[in-house]
Amino acid sequence: MPHETIDWSDCPLVEIKPGVQSGAPVLRGTRMPVAAIVDNFVYGVSVSGIAEQFEIPEDCVRAIVTYAERHRVAHSV
């Protein structure tokens, strides 16, 4: 299954800084890559399971997953 691209530019919970996680999108104020949250959800981990695993609030996990579902960027063929 190809990895989908997500445009995080309008998500207030996400920041991208060149010196943090090699410029990967992270949860604002942390070094937590949002891809880890989304990937775990895609693989079937529950919102509460992800929140517990990464020690972040469930509402943040839910917001990241919802944003990701709404902002996927289609790959050109």
- Can you give the CATH number for the domain in which 61 is found? 1.10.10.10
The answer, yes or no, to whether residue 53 has pLDDT greater than 90, is yes
Range of the domain at 27: 5-73
Sign of CA dihedral 39, 42, 47, 53: negative
Closest by CA to 47, choosing from 61, 26, 36, is 61
Split into its structural domains, the chain has a count of 1
Residue 6, helix vs strand vs coil? strand
- How large a percentage of the chain has pLDDT more than 90? 75
Average model confidence (pLDDT) across the chain: 89
